[in-house]
Every structure is written in structure tokens, then in C-alpha cells.
């Protein structure tokens, strides 16, 4: 195992796993992609690096390149400690959800856009009044980066063998529900959701939830943070986004089980 040149990385710690008696493999997200790095001795009580490699911190690393094994973290210096995510269980669980989605959807092709999105989401989770709303804002942006951008503005159903493409402009007084179908990639108009309601992947969607999905996708968080969000709509949004994400991942994200409990 030959050690080569040193290089520097700005990184966010997304996951860790124990290795041997005192080491850890640290999974980090960088503007150039994700990497697994070895932190030697970091589990020892007097390790100087331990506090700089906590989950969700943004840190500056000096890394030694190794041939045939993990590159080794030689130095680490915290840039953003994210203490609020370490100390608050709910915020920390939503941070795990943010990290889990980034790792599941981007195994090899992460880039600077994903890095910026994850950094923004973690910063918001630490301080925002409603961490659940931050998660709803994060999800459609992550899906878009992964190539699964949901279509909330136009019906994705079919009529008489042709795409429906009806513009969707939900109003509180709408008499009929809309729908969502992850297999088709977005929302359904009232006519199409009734026609397709027996399909396995189709779910009904209230006008309020559809309005929120449209706003969460196109507006910055500072804007959607100001809107009143009824509890029933918040719960519906959570169910719809879980359905959409589980469809693409072919599993329910593990962090959502903790949040649900």
C-alpha cells in the first residue's frame, strides 16, 4: 500500500462506519463528487480529528493519496460545525434523511450542484422553524438533479391514447381531486386520476397539496417559509413525497421510519 501526494478537500460528512479497532471510514460529499476516506485512530478518546469529522459538518481536509486502498485523512478542520443537528434529535434525523437521499440517488456521479443543495438543506435544517418543510423543499430539487424532476404544472396522464397535458391550476374550491403517478412522472388532472385510479402507483392529491408541490419546486425556501401550511396538507405532502421517492429508490428511506416513530 503506497502513499502518494497530499491533496485538499472541502467536504460534508454524510456517513461513517467503524473500521478495525479505532478507525472509521468516512463518506464525504465534495464539489467534485462523493468519496470514502479512512480516518485512522479517530475513535480513540484523545483523537484530535474526531470533532472535525462529526456527521453533517462541513470540513476542510488534508488527504493522503493511497494506492489500492482508501485515501487517508491526515488533517481535518471544521468550517461549519452544525451543532444544532448534533443536539436536536428531530433536526438530526431530517439531516440523516437529506444525507441518505443524496447517497442513494448519487452513488458515483455527485457534483457541485448536489454539494450546494445538500449544504443549503443542512444549513436550513439547523435553524429553520419547521425542519419538515425544509425536507419538502429539498426533495423535488434532489429529484430534479437525479433526472426525476416531477411534473406538477401539466397533467402527465393520457386521453384516447394521447398525452393529456392539461395545465394544472389548483384552487381551494376545486370540486374534484387531482392525482399523482410516479410511474408517469408527476401530477394528474381530475379527469385522468379518475380514469387511472385503479393503477398501483396512482394516488389522489388535494388541490392544496398540489399548490404546495408547485410552490416548493419553483420558489426559494425563504418564500415558502412564509406561507401558512395546514397540518393536514403537511401530512399529505409527506405521504406523497415518500410515495414518489420510494418508487424511484424501490425502498422506503430508512430515516423516514425513524421520523414516523
Q: Which domains are delineated in the chain?
A: 3-81 (2.40.50.140)
Q: How many separate helices (H) and strands (E) can be counted in the chain?
A: 9, 10
CA gyration radius for the chain? 21
How many residues are given for the chain? 261
Question: H or E segment at 132?
Answer: helix 131-145
Question: What is the value of pTM for the model shown?
Answer: 0.93
Average pLDDT for runs of 10 along the chain of length 261: 76 95 95 94 88 95 93 95 94 97 89 96 96 97 96 96 96 93 98 97 97 97 94 96 97 89 67
Question: Given this model, what pLDDT does residue 1 score?
Answer: 42
| Confidence (pLDDT) at 50 | 84
**Sole residue written with cell 392544496:** 208
Distances (CA, A) of 152 to 16, 169, 187, 189, 216: 36, 10, 5, 10, 10
Residue 261: per-residue pLDDT:
67
Amino acid at each position: 500500500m503506497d502513499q502518494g501526494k497530499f491533496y485538499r478537500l472541502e467536504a460534508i460528512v454524510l456517513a461513517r462506519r467503524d473500521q478495525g479497532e479505532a478507525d472509521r471510514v468516512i463518506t464525504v460529499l465534495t464539489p467534485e463528487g462523493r468519496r470514502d476516506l479512512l480516518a485512522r485512530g479517530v475513535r480513540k478518546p484523545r483523537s484530535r480529528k474526531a470533532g472535525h469529522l462529526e456527521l453533517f459538518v462541513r470540513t476542510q481536509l488534508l488527504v493522503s493519496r493511497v494506492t489500492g486502498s482508501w485515501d487517508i485523512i491526515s488533517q481535518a478542520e471544521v468550517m461549519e460545525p452544525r451543532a444544532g443537528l448534533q443536539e436536536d434529535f428531530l433536526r438530526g434525523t431530517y439531516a440523516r434523511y437529506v444525507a441518505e437521499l443524496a447517497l442513494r440517488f448519487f452513488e458515483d456521479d455527485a457534483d457541485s450542484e448536489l454539494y450546494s443543495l445538500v449544504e443549503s438543506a443542512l444549513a436550513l435544517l439547523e435553524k429553520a422553524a419547521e425542519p419538515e418543510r425544509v425536507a419538502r423543499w429539498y426533495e423535488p430539487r434532489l429529484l430534479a438533479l437525479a433526472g426525476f424532476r416531477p411534473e406538477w404544472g401539466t397533467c402527465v396522464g393520457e386521453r384516447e391514447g394521447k398525452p393529456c397535458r392539461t395545465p394544472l391550476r389548483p384552487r381551494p374550491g376545486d370540486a374534484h381531486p387531482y392525482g399523482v403517478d410516479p410511474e408517469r412522472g408527476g401530477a394528474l388532472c381530475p379527469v385522468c386520476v379518475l380514469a387511472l385510479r385503479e393503477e398501483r402507483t396512482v394516488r389522489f392529491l388535494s388541490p392544496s397539496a398540489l399548490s404546495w408541490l408547485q410552490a416548493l419546486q419553483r420558489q426559494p425556501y425563504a418564500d415558502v417559509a412564509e406561507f401558512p401550511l395546514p397540518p393536514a396538507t403537511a401530512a399529505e405532502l409527506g405521504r406523497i413525497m415518500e410515495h414518489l421517492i420510494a418508487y424511484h429508490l424501490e425502498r422506503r428511506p430508512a430515516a423516514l421510519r425513524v421520523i414516523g416513530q
